[in-house]
Chains A and B, each alone.
Chain A
Amino acid sequence: MEKSNTYIFIYSVALVVLVATVLSVTAFSLKEKQQANTRNEKMQDILMSININVDAKDAEQHYNSHITETFIVKANGEILPYILKKEGKVVDTIRAFDIDMKSLYDMPLSERTHPVFKAVKNDTTYTIIPLRGRGLWGPLWGYISFYDDANTISGAVFDHQGETPGLGAEINKPRFSNQFKNKQIFNDVKEFTSVQVVKGASANSPHHVDGISGGTITSVGVNDMIDTCLSGYVKYLESIK
């Protein structure tokens, strides 16, 4: 039907205001739940890197019992005094846990405050390092944990925002991440080599894992992510060996 310009104008303004209200109310009322999900997921991922698989609802409890301290290191190996442990319990997990990894890696290397998580499981201490990188369609992230020697990987977990299902998205499957177990990031002469993701890598090589067929750009993204992120921790890892 033909309507006057005034009608069209008022109609569209009213519609937009109404829709905006509905959306803000929805977003606002679901925000808390979504943030809790994000936190739980992050805790699950961190625990997963030391091979503890828990449900989202138990994540916080297990996180608090396994993660003994969190702190921040600079690229020169200096540890900033954010040790949050009191009487054997984590009293504040805010600092390292809440660091925005995206903006962290936008900063120049010397200014970055790299978060480190220390965990204890069966009397072994693990060092967990968060990773952040770029895949084919969007960000990649992950956590990688090391044994006492700060060289051998005890576990790794990767995730992504929008990699292609069945191809690049396979990086979040144990089939891919389990390959990282017992790989080493320093070579025989103590140089940092990272762990390289390459097609057709031999399972015997201590510094290589096999990439994903059809997910080349994502595999390269994981490779670069591990290299870039860990290089900021090299000094720190060398100091705790």
Chain B
Amino acid sequence: MFFVKRILFLVPLLLVISSLSFALLRLAPGGPFDHDRAPASPEVERLLRARYHLDEPVWQQYGRWLNDALHGDFGLSLKYRNHTVTDIIRQGLPVSLSLGLLAFGFAVGVGIPVGFFTAVRRGEWVDWGGSFLVLLSICVPGFVIGPLLAMIFALKLHWLPPALWGAPLQAVLPMVTLGLYFAGRVARLMREGMTQTLQSEFIRTARAKGLSEFAVLTRHAFRLAVMPVVSYSGPMLADLLTGSFVVESIFQIPGIGVFIVDSSRSRDYPLVIGLVLLYAVLLLVMNLVVDLAYGLLDPRVKYD
């Protein structure tokens, strides 16, 4: 019931988001045809505006757009003429998605073990070293890490290709650049969760029963300690999927991130709205999935 309500709430939310961004874009001065190399003659511009229905009142345009969108048509891009918004998204999205998922795998795959071991070896050099690296990864922004990694591993050591997308090796640097911050966050959550769990009663009971330390740590403690990471993974995945455009621009990756800056600058209305909606849907769905997963993993959580 809770989830039905949540899903039904998405509909008005997306309506509000689309109409807000529609209004915001039209409020802004400057049109999509201002930036052409040669200024169009008034006649050409009039025809262009008529072709894209920009000469109608805004509410009528919104109605038309909404009607088309409900039929799965998000319109033609105004800048990349003859490409539909759906086309552009269909080409770029898989790239951005796979980059985001790779970075997610990296963040979880590195963050959880680091957090686990720094908690288990609390106060020893593993903890100090690990915690220092974690701190570093959280505080150095991606647009500093990215160029640095490219300089070191691609240009100095020649181990990895410096840019572009396609070959598996080309994915390494973007993945690390995008995922490092999140790996740090995950490691922190994991360390905190593990530290707290290890102090709880049922762990003492498990030890008292004579279970091996390995079984205590993996079978008993880990399952509870990983919960904060699970609840963080939704927002994290959304951030990874929506926040990849700096990484895309550093490593010249043909994802959809580039279009967000580009299209809102050139007033490419249909493309901006398509992208904003796409990102909003990604974010909302991700949060929904996490709530669902949380309920499945922790039977104590009840939704009404």
Q: Do A and B come from one complex?
A: no
Chain B interface (Cβ within 8 Å of chain A)? none
